[in-house]
Amino acid sequence: MLLMRAASTLAEQINEAIVVQGNSTLRPAHGLVFVRVAENGATVSEIGAFLGITKQSAAVIVDELTASGYVDKQPHPQDRRAQLVRLTSAGLDVTAAATDAALARWHAASAVLGADTMASLVRALEEIGRGGTPRPVW
């Protein structure tokens, strides 16, 4: 329960920072799409697999994010049948705001707990979460 409460608190703080920027239609699950496509883009199938949902459900989320201007679809460089989903500048702005909010929470916790405790916490969470992947809470 403590881990779930900590994760929920962090997600809420990140969401608040994003909403303050004027992104009130986004929800925490969208953040995981942003995580998956941020580096090199991803296909809808890859997004679905990452989220643990069907390709059709992933397509609906991608279409919502495309319509809102957070992602766009481009031809896939190796597969003519697929499209690559990438963040737009608006999506990159949201990602930066989310990262800033997460770092602010990290720094606040570090100020209270100290660097050694935070390092121990990181090791413990890596062990507890070994083999897991983030999944959205709908």
Q: The tokens 């003519």 sit on which residue?
A: 80
Spatial contact of 85 and 91, defined as CB atoms under 8 Å apart: no
End-to-end CA distance of the chain: 18
CATH code where residue 42 lies: 1.10.10.10
Within a domain: 135? no
pTM value? 0.84
- Distance, C-alpha 102 to centroid of its chain: 11
Domains identified in the chain, total number: 1
pLDDT at 136: 64
pLDDT at 137: 56
Within a domain: 97? yes
User: What is the Cα–Cα distance from 12 to 20, expressed in whole angstroms?
Assistant: 12
Q: What is the dihedral of CA 71, 72, 75, 79, to 10 degrees?
A: 30
Within a domain: 45? yes
Largest CA distance in the chain: 52
Give the pLDDT band (50/70/90) at residue 39: confident
Task: Look up the domain containing 54 and give its range.
Answer: 2-128
pLDDT digits (tens, 9 = 90+) for 81-137: 999 999 999 999 999 999 999 999 999 999 999 999 999 999 999 999 898 877 765
- Distance, C-alpha 121 to centroid of its chain: 21
pLDDT digits (tens, 9 = 90+) for 43-58: 999 999 999 899 999 9
